[in-house]
Amino acid sequence: MTSLMQKIKEVLPQLSEAERRIGEYVFENPEAIPHMTTKELSKKSGVSEATIIRFCKSIGIGSFKSFKLALMKDLTLTDTNLTDFSVLNKKDSPYDLFHKVIHVNKSAIESCADSMDRKELAKAVEAIQHAGKIVFFGVGGSSTAAVDAQYKFTKLGYHSITSLDFHYMLSVIPHLTENDVFVAISTSGKTKDVLELTRFAQKKGATAIAITTLSKSPLYKEADIRLCTPNVEQDFRIGSIPSRMTQLTVIDTLYMSIFHHVGEKVLQQYYDARSEMESLRR
Amino acid sequence: MTSLMQKIKEVLPQLSEAERRIGEYVFENPEAIPHMTTKELSKKSGVSEATIIRFCKSIGIGSFKSFKLALMKDLTLTDTNLTDFSVLNKKDSPYDLFHKVIHVNKSAIESCADSMDRKELAKAVEAIQHAGKIVFFGVGGSSTAAVDAQYKFTKLGYHSITSLDFHYMLSVIPHLTENDVFVAISTSGKTKDVLELTRFAQKKGATAIAITTLSKSPLYKEADIRLCTPNVEQDFRIGSIPSRMTQLTVIDTLYMSIFHHVGEKVLQQYYDARSEMESLRR
DNA sequence: GATTTTATGAAATTTAAATTCATTATTATA
DNA sequence: TATAATAATGAATTTAAATTTCATAAAATC
């Protein structure tokens, strides 16, 4: 707990009804406050603007502006702001939602650190490094990560494949061999299409890397290498937003790691592509 | 040196006379700025208030208020919490890189708050809400965001279109009307294909929303609505990783906002899709 | 040399913060 | 119990700050 938040908590019981309401709101949504106006906060917490000014004075701060600055400073000092943003509420404006999305995505990425196993990661990098083809597959929200991965690894000079089309994939997999890698992306680890293609790829000898949540799912059990994403499911309205961020973070890591290894080799092609792009500007 | 101050130092030589004066003043008195008003700073640095607003935009920050907040945050960061992850080094293991990726992505998402303009965001939500068709277009790294957006808005029941194929897009755009929205995604704002399609869409009467960095790029100038992403360019090896995160954060915000509005209506379809998915498990 | 573009500040507008004041609820006192 | 005193509150107003618009001058381009 930071000093300013601490202070608010302490004085909370001594405050009047309306001022306490503000304090409670601040306590629940500290991140949001610095970007708010008195009018907004007044609406959200259900008290008048005048009371907000009074609240600032009550906690010993001269103005609402100073309060916002102080809070920003306070929040910066601690990264452990465990705000429960799962609570979306009716009155949220797009700008409010924007800040909630920022928060949700930030914490999702943060929590990636918890679920990743360094040995599995090393194995994955090893496998991809020596791969001939890399096939990525994910459906629904997970297709974004697959598309992103396919683009990134193509840039690195890999024969990298993805498609949303199950039947297209069915025609790709028979050509996989022991050297190849199949990356299955599924948050739940239960998606039928993903499972079937993974098994098929394994039957052809490819190494199956799963990007999935740590759970007793079939995909988790059957994959050769498991890159676990944290369980970040929240309010259904937020849906796949945070889990996609975690998947992308894993993809980014694979990309960076491979770049690190093969970097020198592809650097020239990389520059070529860049300068050509500059000149074409497309 | 902290990141924002660093940034100011870097752009200083490219700024105009008056804007540079502000930059220099900020550099000499960083601690004072967060408590100042535009009028004060204008007097102190000897330039007009308007130029101060322009200065903020020049360094990639959406408003003077955001600038003050960002600076406060920046100054609060001590060397201890300033792990310099921007530097990649040779000995980095995949696991090291993983943590650097986490850091880079987190800060990218965090800095989204600086460049977003709430009015523009509100306009964008308004436009999309009443849109018939929504077309997303981005090339290269920005295609990920386009794909993600297309999927999300389809789930909300919109006629939502994207493609990587320029010529396919050329065949889509003639059918756009005043009610439709074209969302152009380009970090630089200079990508030729994106620009050409944007102009074409505007000619057909569609509203052009740009997701791009705050800069003097053609896309920024010409778009009807600008949703600015921060300038997060780093080491070339990290490449488009952070900018893609910022684009996705903007997309997520649009999605959440629209969901908020049309949510009740599509909820039933949403559940239908979910339960059907459960039963099919594919 | 004419024309466009860019940079700039003055003035106007919009938006936010802070204050005032009237109203209501609460407590203390006759 | 009735009445005065006090405290809490929000509506309306005032003040201040941020932002935009517009006119002008300087620089760059044709």
Tell me the per-residue pLDDT of B45-59, one tens digit each, with 9 for 90 and over: 888 888 998 888 888
pLDDT at B19: 86
pLDDT at B167: 94
Exposure b/e, B211-244, CB count within 10 A at least 16 = b: bbbbbebbbbebbbbbbbbbbbebeeebbbbbbb
Measure, in angstroms, how far nucleotide C15 C1' is from residue A114 CA: 44
Q: How far apart, in whole angstroms, are the C-alpha atoms of residue A205 and residue A211?
A: 19
Q: Could you tell me where the beta strands, DSSP code E, fall in chain A?
A: 133-138, 159-162, 181-185, 207-213, 225-229
Phi, psi of A236 (to 5 degrees): -65, -25
pLDDT at A266: 65
* A235 vs B44, more confident: B44
- Residues in CB range of A184: below 8 A, 6 or more apart: A137, A138, A194, A195, A197, A198, A208, A209, A210, A211, A212, A219, A223
pLDDT at A85: 47
Mean pLDDT is lowest, of A45-49, A229-233, B275-279, for: B275-279
Q: Are A59 and A130 part of one and the same domain?
A: no
CATH number of the structural domain spanning residue B70: 1.10.10.10
Q: Which nucleotide is nearest to A54 (CA to C1')?
A: C18
The single-letter code of the amino acid at B240 is: S
Report residue A232 as tokens.
């970040």
Among B14-18, B116-120, B172-176, top mean pLDDT goes to: B172-176
Interchain CB distance below 8 Å, A281 and B192: yes
Q: Are A267 and A167 part of one and the same domain?
A: yes
Q: How far apart, in whole angstroms, are the C-alpha atoms of residue B159 and residue A92?
A: 25
CATH number of the structural domain spanning residue B197: 3.40.50.10490
Residues of B (24-53) whose Cβ lies below 8 Å from A: 34-35
Q: What is the largest CA-CA distance in chain A?
A: 72
Q: Which nucleotides of C are covered by protein (CB under 7 A)?
A: 6-12, 15-21
Helices (H), A135-228: 143-155, 166-172, 192-203, 218-222
Q: Are B155 and B210 part of one and the same domain?
A: yes
Q: Considering only CA atoms, which of B116, B138, B135 is closest in space to residue B195?
A: B138
**CB–CB of A165/B254 below 8 Å?**
no
pLDDT at A82: 42
Q: Does A89 reside within a domain?
A: no
Mean pLDDT is lowest, of A63-67, A157-161, B155-159, for: A63-67
Q: Does B97 reside within a domain?
A: no
Mean pLDDT is lowest, of A32-46, A127-141, A160-174, A191-205, for: A32-46
Helix (H) or strand (E) holding A265: helix A241-280
Confidence of residue A143 (pLDDT cuts 50, 70, 90): very high
Q: Are A7 and A115 part of one and the same domain?
A: no
Mean pLDDT of A108-116: 82
Mean pLDDT of B220-238: 81
Helix (H) or strand (E) holding A250: helix A241-280
Mean confidence (pLDDT) of chain A: 83
Task: Give per-residue pLDDT as tens, B258-272.
Answer: 988 776 666 677 677
Interchain CB distance below 8 Å, A116 and B125: no
**Cα separations (Å) of A117 from A112, A136, B23, B70?**
10, 21, 45, 35
- Eight-state DSSP code of residue A187: S
Q: How many domains does chain B have?
A: 2
pLDDT at A237: 67
Q: Does B21 reside within a domain?
A: yes
Q: How far apart, in whole angstroms, are the C-alpha atoms of residue A246 and residue A244?
A: 5
Taking CB atoms within 8 Å and a gap of at least 24, the contacts of A275-279 are: A277/B140
Residues of B (206-235) whose Cβ lies below 8 Å from A: none
Measure, in angstroms, how far nucleotide C5 C1' is from residue B218 CA: 15
Assess whether pLDDT exceeds 70 at residue B60: yes
Q: What percent of chain B has pLDDT over 90?
A: 31
Task: Give per-residue pLDDT as tens, A146-179.
Answer: 999 999 999 888 999 999 899 999 999 999 999 9
CB-side exposure of B277: number of CA atoms within 13 Å? 12
Q: Which nucleotides of D are covered by protein (CB under 7 A)?
A: 7-12, 16-22
> In A, which residues are within 8 Å of B118 by CB distance?
93-95, 98
Q: Are A121 and A236 part of one and the same domain?
A: yes
Assess whether pLDDT exceeds 70 at residue B190: yes
Assess whether pLDDT exceeds 60 at residue A1: no
B37 CB-to-strand D distance under 7 Å? yes
Q: Are B178 and B48 part of one and the same domain?
A: no
Q: Could you tell me where the beta strands, DSSP code E, fall in A164-249?
A: 181-185, 207-213, 225-229
Report residue B59 as tokens.
């360094």
**CB–CB of B136/B150 below 8 Å?**
yes
Task: Give per-residue pLDDT as tens, B103-155.
Answer: 888 888 988 888 888 888 999 999 999 899 999 999 988 999 999 999 999 98
Domain boundary among B60, B82, B104: B82
Q: Does A85 reside within a domain?
A: no
Shortest Cα–Cα distance, B58 to chain A (Å): 21
A3 CB-to-strand D distance under 7 Å? no
Give chain B as a 3 state SS string: CCHHHHHHHHHHHHCCHHHHHHHHHHHHCHHHHHHCCHHHHHHHHCCCHHHHHHHHHHCCCCCHHHHHHHHHHHHHCCHHHCCCCCCCCCCCCHHHHHHHHHHHHHHHHHHHHHHCCHHHHHHHHHHHHCCCEEEEEECHHHHHHHHHHHHHHHHCCCEEEECCCHHHHHHHHHHCCCCCEEEEECCCCCCHHHHHHHHHHHHCCCEEEEEEECCCCHHHHHCCEEEEECCCCCCCCCCCHHHHHHHHHHHHHHHHHHHHHHHHHHHHHHHHHHHHHHHHCC
Assess whether pLDDT exceeds 50 at residue A86: no
Range of the domain at A70: 3-80
> In A, which residues are within 8 Å of B124 by CB distance?
94
* B242 vs B84, more confident: B242
Assess whether pLDDT exceeds 80 at residue B234: no
Domain boundary among B82, B108, B143: B82
Shortest Cα–Cα distance, B76 to chain A (Å): 6
Nearest-CB residue to A76 (from B77, B112, B282): B77
Residues of A (72-101) whose Cβ lies below 8 Å from B: 72-73, 76-77, 79, 88, 92-95, 97-101
Neighbours of A255 (CB within 10 A): 25
Q: Are B38 and B150 part of one and the same domain?
A: no
SS3 A81: coil
Residue among B90, B92, B144 with most chain A CBs within 10 A, to mutate: B144
- Residues in CB range of B177: below 8 A, 6 or more apart: B132, B204, B205, B206
Measure, in angstroms, how far nucleotide C28 C1' is from residue B51 CA: 59
Partner A contacted by B280 (CB < 8 A):
yes
Interchain CB distance below 8 Å, B249 and A193: no
Shortest Cα–Cα distance, B102 to chain A (Å): 6
pLDDT at A242: 87
pLDDT at A207: 93
Q: How far apart, in whole angstroms, are the C-alpha atoms of residue A145 and residue A167?
A: 20
Q: Are B63 and B129 part of one and the same domain?
A: no
Q: Are B230 and B164 part of one and the same domain?
A: yes
pLDDT at A265: 67
Interchain CB distance below 8 Å, A257 and B94: yes
Q: Are B57 and B137 part of one and the same domain?
A: no
Mean pLDDT of A256-281: 70
Confidence of residue A80 (pLDDT cuts 50, 70, 90): very low
Q: Does A191 reside within a domain?
A: yes
Q: How far apart, in whole angstroms, are the C-alpha atoms of residue B192 and residue B219?
A: 10
Domain boundary among B82, B105, B127: B82
**CB–CB of A97/B257 below 8 Å?**
yes
